[in-house]
């Protein structure tokens, strides 16, 4: 599955990291979402229910998945 982050939509709500440890925060940017183990704003992962839940649960749709 492909995951894309839209940091301009992130409000640092923190929900995504509670569902998947693939998400983390950028301490230098007020807690805006980043990938924990990947550089950049887009990455491919094996299909993962927790990643999908994190994506679907983001209140501002800052995490796109397909
Ligand atoms: S759940 Fe959405 S708004 Fe909250 S930190 Fe994650 S990406 Fe940002």
* Coil/strand/helix, residue 17: helix
Half-sphere exposure (CA, 13 Å, Cβ side) for 3? 31
* Coil/strand/helix, residue 23: strand
pLDDT digits (tens, 9 = 90+) for 11-64: 998 899 999 999 999 888 889 999 999 999 999 999 999 999 999 999 999 999
Distance from the CA of 40 to the center of ligand 1, in angstroms? 16
pLDDT at 13: 85
Pairing mode, if any, of strands 23-26 and 2-5? unpaired
From the CA of 31, give the closest atom in ligand 1. Answer: 5
- Tokens of residue 26, six digits: 């950028």
From the CA of 9, give the closest atom in ligand 1. Answer: 3
pLDDT at 28: 81
Structural contact between residues 9 and 61, judged by C-beta atoms closer than 8 angstroms? yes
Q: By alpha-carbon position, which residue is closest to atom 2 of ligand 1?
A: 58
């Amino acid at each position: 599955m492909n995951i894309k982050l839209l940091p301009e939509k992130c409000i640092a709500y923190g929900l995504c990291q509670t569902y998947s440890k693939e998400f983390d925060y950028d301490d230098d940017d007020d807690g805006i979402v980043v990938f924990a183990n990947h550089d950049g704003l887009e990455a491919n992962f094996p299909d993962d229910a927790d990643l999908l839940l994190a994506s679907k649960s983001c209140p501002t749709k800052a995490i796109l998945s397909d």
